[in-house]
Every structure is written in structure tokens, then in C-alpha cells.
Amino acid sequence: MRADRLVATLLVLQARGRVTAAELAEELEVSVATARRDLEALSTAGVPVYPQPGRGGGWSLVGGARTDLSGLTSAEARALFLLAGPAAAVAPPIRSALRKLVRALPDPFRADAEAAADVVVVDAARWGERDRDRPELVDLLQDAVVRRRKVAFRYASRGARESPRLVDPLGLVDKDEVWYLVAGTEKGQRTFRVDRIAAAEVTDQVAERPAGFDLSREWERVVGVVEQRRSLLSATVLIAERLLPVLRDHFGRHCELLETLADGRVRVRVAAPMALSIAEQLAGWGAAVEVLEPEPVQAELARLGAELVARYGPA
């Protein structure tokens, strides 16, 4: 994974002082182009890695070969760990590498680096939303989490007006291009969609962080609660096997393959909060999908079909 290579790249620079892209590529068993892109990514992120052209040149970490990373400023250390942190949630070797790197940092920077490594969780499983661009607020919220400062903003809950909030930011989650802020509030920990946050401002008030808080574990708990709400009712359907990936794209986690039939179809279980929710997802499939059960979903499909015939059928 790329974050793993970025950490490894920095450690190689620490050990050797100066390397060419070709030497780094050989060390990490990647292409020269990949090694060069990783070096450029470190430099862009604010880590003091610079190329030296000409004979005897190469890439080096300003200050020469060191093992204590004393050349890194606090901001540079945060930048590195923000790059590598999300991958550490799903790759134990990266988390191990980050722990070793933390121990090599000067004491004043360790707290910020550890916080930055646990700012973001990446969850690739969809909840049905379309892909979105990364909100501009993400950087501001990341900084607030690392510096442990309360954030004031206005938030629009679904179907409600905007209301003022003052929260203790604990971490951010990128769920398939939809961003969420996990934060502490007067009523306990809450999850906010970043695209519904407006007029956010980082305050000078120190944010509280629960002892032993782990963003990955907290997000697993949030997902468990949401998934339970989203799967209150299930239906069994038959579709052509070639259409299964499309159905999974519609229902995300709530699409389970049960059986492959000899006629090229598959029996699948899908789930949603209520019968109407399932029927609305399946209505556009027409005869391509057959609902075997339950009866409430069949009834909702029949009702939707009758409404469409009444509106658009021949007079």
C-alpha cells in the first residue's frame, strides 16, 4: 500500500542520507516511476525531502542521515502521519511502522504525530450515496482533531433546520467519498456528515478526548447501529448472475448471495428499513428481478406498478 511505502521511504532516507529514485526502487521493489512519485508526495506533504540534481545527486532529507528525525517540525510530522494514518487502520504492518516512527520523533512532536495517525478511517463499503468531491472542511477538521480544539458550526440534520453546535472533534471517516465527523457533544458521541456542516470555526477551547478512544472501534460501533436500522426487513429475489454486481451496488452491505441456480440466475437476499424501501430500489428493474418473498414487498411493487400504469399507460 502507498502509505506503507511512504513510511518505508522516509526510513530509507534516514538510514542512507541520500538515495536516487533508482536505488529506492530497488530497495522497495517498485518501479523507478513509483519511487519518484512517492518521494514527490513526501515533499508535497511538507516533509523536508528535496532532490539534488547532477552527478552524485539524489534525494535527501534536509539535515543529512539521522535516526531521531530531529529535522522534522511539528507540522511536518503531522503531514506525514496524515498521509499514512488512514491505511494503518486496515494494514497492521503500517500501524507497526508508524509506532516505530513515533518512537524516533523528538518528544515535543510525538503527541501531534500520534493524533494525526488516528485522525482518519477509510471505509470503502457504500451506503448507497453517489461519489462526492472531498469537502474543503476536511482539512480544517483534521487540524482541529490534531490540535485538540473545539469546533463551532451550524449543522443541518436530515429534514431539519440548521442548528448551532459546539463539539469536541475526535476523528474523520471517509466512507466511499462521503465524509463523516465523529465528535463528542453534550449528549455523548455523535456522527455528523461533513457536507451538512456550515460556517465551521476552530475555537481556542481545548477539546476533550475520552481516555482510550479508538476511532476504528468507534466507527465499527456506528456502522453496526446504522446497519441494524437499515436491515430491519429482508427480501429474497432472483436475478441473472451477470446483474449481481449492479444489485450489490444498489444495496451495498445488504446484498447477500444465497445460491447459484442452473439456469444462470442467482438467489439473493437484500435488506432495507421497510418494504417500500426495497420496492423502490427494485421497481426500476422491471421483469429482470423476481421477488420471491415477503408479500409486503410484492404488494408495494404491485402498488407502484399500478400507479405508473395509471399515470403513463394508454388512455
**pLDDT in the model for residue 226:** 76
Q: What does the pLDDT profile of the chain (315 residues) look like in tens digits?
A: 455 677 677 777 776 778 888 888 888 788 888 888 888 877 776 677 888 777 767 888 765 434 344 455 555 555 555 555 554 554 455 555 555 565 555 554 555 555 555 555 555 555 555 445 677 898 899 888 878 899 999 998 876 788 999 999 998 888 877 889 999 999 999 999 999 999 999 999 999 989 888 888 888 888 877 777 766 789 999 999 999 999 988 888 789 999 999 999 999 999 888 899 899 999 999 999 999 999 999 999 999 999 999 999 886
How would you class 192 by CB atoms within 10 Å of its CB: exposed for 0-12, middle for 13-18, buried for 19 or more?
Answer: buried
Q: What is the grid cell recorded at 153?
A: 458550526
**pLDDT in the model for residue 270:** 93
CATH of domain 2-116: 1.10.10
User: Are residues 102 and 110 in contact, defined by beta-carbon separation less than 8 angstroms?
Assistant: yes
Q: For the chain, what are the domain ranges?
A: 2-116, 123-226, 231-312
Q: What is the grid cell recorded at 58?
A: 539524489
Q: Which CATH architecture has domain 123-226?
A: Roll (2.30)
| CA torsion, ordered 5, 11, 14, 18, to nearest 10 deg | -30
Centre a 10 Å sphere on the Cβ of residue 46 and count the other Cβ atoms it contains.
Answer: 17
**pLDDT in the model for residue 90:** 44
CATH of domain 231-312: 3.30.70
**pLDDT in the model for residue 64:** 44
* pTM (two decimals): 0.48
Residues 6+ apart with CB under 8 A from 51: 39, 57, 58, 59
